[in-house]
Structure 1
């Protein structure tokens, strides 16, 4: 990508600021107050990716393995994950989410979607069309 213009740099700054604020506000739309954002992130990763070893979860969530071990223990104590022997390596375990965790995630997504849809009602038709058109690019940007 070529060097950014002043307008591009201003747009980057506005995008950063607005996405951070929106993410913060979305985090407040929680179903289960006893779960930290990191714990919810682990449950979300398990829902998206399926069973994983603690090491895989640590890499995906960008935390150190000892921290992930503690997070898994707390989630297991709350009945939200289960550990099972690894099918190929007896030294490891795989972690999976429980039905209770899946129910929490489903309700959390429902609540956050409803909150965001309510906010979107305050936009003009033109603004909403821009958001809809930008959604795929924002999703791609989030996963780069």
Structure 2
């Protein structure tokens, strides 16, 4: 594999994509393990996170953002509604639609999950040298830019 700005294609550079992918997957797995005691699926947690980040939206919009089919999202929303993490309300201009929003209980769950994950990550970062944390700070900016958020 070659990068546009570096055509040397050394084995080390070819393995960068693989090493980075694996490191991100492993870190994500460890962060997911810090979730709460609720028996929520990863799809449900992701839907809650999207509602937290993006605000209330229709089930169709949520399905699109999550990359799932609308019937699957309907089941996710129903399950989250049953445990009072989300609520549906009538769409203000389209009577065929509903708006899905986090409830206070759902928001509390999201905040608690974020706090647990960040506390775990803070503990791991505290084990590193200042130089290593600086490298990770720069890497986080680069990864965010690669993901299209920067």
Judge same fold: TM > 0.5, yes or no.
Answer: yes
CA distance in 2, matches of 1:9, 1:88: 52
Out of 5, 11, 14, the residue aligned to residue 9 of structure 2 is 5
Q: Aligned runs of 1:109-128 on 2, under 5 Å?
A: 109-128=114-133
Secondary structure at 1:83's aligned position in 2?
Answer: strand
Out of 28, 34, 43, the residue aligned to residue 48 of structure 2 is 43
Structure 1: stretches of 5+ with no match in the other structure: none
Contact kept in structure 2, 1:32 and 1:104, CA below 8 Å: no
Out of 80, 88, 91, the residue aligned to residue 83 of structure 1 is 88
CA distance in 2, matches of 1:142, 1:4: 25
Cα deviation code 1:16-44 (max 9, x no counterpart): 00000000011000124311111111011
The question of 1:34 aligning with 2:7 is answered: no
Secondary structure at 2:34's aligned position in 1?
Answer: coil
Cα deviation code 1:108-141 (max 9, x no counterpart): 1111001001111222222111001121121222
- TM-score, structure 1 normalization: 0.93
Please report how far the alpha carbon of residue 105 of structure 1 lies from its aligned counterpart in structure 2 after TM superposition: 0.8
CA distance in 2, matches of 1:115, 1:4: 39
Q: 1:60 to 1:83 in 2, by over 3 A?
A: same
Cα deviation code 1:31-76 (max 9, x no counterpart): 2431111111101111111111111111101111110000000000
Q: Aligned runs of 1:121-140 on 2, under 5 Å?
A: 121-140=126-145
Contact kept in structure 2, 1:31 and 1:108, CA below 8 Å: yes
Please report how far the alpha carbon of residue 4 of structure 1 lies from its aligned counterpart in structure 2 after TM superposition: 7.3
The two structures, once aligned, show a CA RMSD in angstroms of 1.5
- TM-score, structure 2 normalization: 0.90
- The match for 1:142 is 147
Aligned residues: 144
